[in-house]
A and B are shown apart, each in its own frame.
Chain A
Amino acid sequence: MSTTPSRDTVLCISLAGRPGTFGVRFHNHLYRQLGLDFYYKAMRTDDLPAAVAGIRALGIRGCGVSMPYKEACMALVDEIDPSAAAIESVNTLVNTDGHLKAYNTDYLAVRQFWRSIRSIRAPPLPCVAVVGWPRPWPVPCVMPALQKASSLRATSRPVGNWRMCAAIDGWRSWATSARRCW
């Protein structure tokens, strides 16, 4: 297929404070491999509500969401998938005829890894030590682990603008303790 978008090309985008290239190259490469008339473009915005309204108005099929928009966009969608609701963070919007549904595929991805580990290791559940402040995108990655972990060990110490944080018995407890130490 041509790499030049046409009037019928389905557009997907990403919104990030600092747009990267991985998603652009990954998605567009697969579109080409599979002969799909889709095109993916990374963008940034200073007006998130207007950007999300644009997704609806222009019929943009999908939108990857990165920092700093992951939480703010939750109020702008019509439906929140359990993957995003569980961790109160969105990284994907899907537009189906103007109905915007929010997901978190970081959560889905790590849950797959976590389940593969759990299938290898029999109970009791493993002890998980986690370091990191929970605001950036990696948070969803550890949530499935934290929700399942029987116990967690960690430390709290500053790392530049970041902080290593304690985690105890589930992500909500962990997030609370993390915010306290912040």
Chain B
Amino acid sequence: MLVNVTPIGMAGGPEAEALAFSEQAIAAAERVFDVVAMPAQTPLIRRAQALGKPVITGLEVIALQALEQFVLYTGIRPTRAQVDAAVAYARDI
């Protein structure tokens, strides 16, 4: 599994269009995880998806961690549909 925890691929950054790993490393990976959330479709994620690799995006991570915060604050666990709607609203800026 490849994990990118650098800002490479982050929107607005100096390396927004750069790949965090080499093409060769991506091709050899079983799975790719990019913690960059904005955008969810980073160059690394796009490349991995093009190669048919399973991916975990940074957006998935920040959404899940925000959900766990919500549960801690309120004691309520929303439905998947409610969470999906909140994520769609939150990223629509």
CB-CB under 8 A for A64 and B69, given A25-B89, A129-B25, A130-B5? yes
Looking at B5, B7, B76, B90, which has the most chain A CB atoms within 10 Å of its CB? B5
**Which of chain A's residues has its CB closest to B60's CB?**
A113
Per-position 1/0 for A104-123, Cβ under 8 A of B: 01101110110001000100
Looking at A26, A94, A127, which has the most chain B CB atoms within 10 Å of its CB? A26
A23 within 8 A of B: yes
A22 near B91: Cβ-Cβ < 8 Å: yes
B5 near A29: Cβ-Cβ < 8 Å: no
Which residues from A are CB-within-8-Å of B70? 26-27, 30
B21 near A22: Cβ-Cβ < 8 Å: no
Complex CA distance for A56 and B64, rounded to whole angstroms: 26
The stretch among A46-54, A69-77, A138-146 that forms the contact with chain B is A138-146
Complex CA distance for A18 and B17, rounded to whole angstroms: 23
B78 near A34: Cβ-Cβ < 8 Å: yes
CB-CB under 8 A for A26 and B64, given A129-B25, A138-B5? no
A94 near B91: Cβ-Cβ < 8 Å: no
CB-CB under 8 A for A132 and B78, given A26-B86, A29-B89, A29-B90? no
Total number of A residues with any Cβ neighbor in B under 8 Å? 49
CB-CB under 8 A for A141 and B89, given A26-B63, A131-B21? no
Complex CA distance for A149 and B57, rounded to whole angstroms: 20
**Which of chain A's residues has its CB closest to B14's CB?**
A160
A22 near B66: Cβ-Cβ < 8 Å: yes
A145 near B86: Cβ-Cβ < 8 Å: no
A22 near B3: Cβ-Cβ < 8 Å: no
**Which of chain B's residues has its CB closest to A36's CB?**
B74
Query: Which 9 pairs between the two chains have the least Cβ-Cβ distance?
Result: A132-B5, A62-B73, A109-B64, A138-B5, A105-B68, A25-B90, A138-B35, A26-B90, A109-B65
Known: A34-B74, A110-B61, A117-B1. 14 other contacts (CB 8 A): A29-B89, A33-B78, A33-B85, A91-B65, A92-B68, A103-B72, A105-B64, A105-B69, A113-B64, A129-B29, A131-B21, A136-B5, A142-B3, A164-B6
B residues contacting A by CB (< 8 A) are 1-8, 14-15, 20-21, 25, 29-31, 33, 35, 37, 56, 60-66, 68-70, 72-74, 76, 78, 82-83, 85-87, 89-91, 93
Q: List 17 A-B contacts (CB under 8 A).
A: A22-B37, A26-B63, A26-B66, A27-B73, A29-B90, A62-B69, A92-B69, A94-B73, A113-B60, A117-B31, A121-B30, A129-B3, A130-B5, A132-B3, A132-B35, A139-B5, A141-B61
